Amino acid sequence: MPKMKTKKTAAKRFKKTATGKLKYSHMGGSHILTNKNRKQKRRLGSQSIVDKADQKRIAKTIPYA
């Protein structure tokens, strides 16, 4: 059986935690920040865990992460 290819777009967006969950950064927090309020910018700066429903599907795209 050949090696599975990693989807590079997913590899750049998601990182695996020590417990095996996937975390990601929010989009829209890098520029045009003058139109966003303080609470919004604070939320965009933090990272989140992928929902359980999507976890399995995304994990298949990055098999060696």
Q: Which helix (H) or strand (E) holds 23?
A: strand 22-25
pLDDT averaged over 10-residue windows placed end to end, the chain, 65 residues: 95 96 95 96 96 96 93
Q: How many CB atoms lie within 10 A of CB 14?
A: 19
pTM of the full predicted structure? 0.82
| The pLDDT of residue 36 | 96
Question: pLDDT value at position 65?
Answer: 86
Give the pLDDT confidence score for residue 41 in this predicted structure.
96
pLDDT at 1: 87
- What's the CATH architecture for 8-61? Irregular (4.10)
- Can you give the pLDDT at residue 34? 96
Rounded-to-integer distance, Cα 36 and Cα 34, Å: 6
Task: Measure the CA–CA gap between 24 and 12, rounded to whole angstroms.
Answer: 9
Structure token digits, residue 9: 């777009």
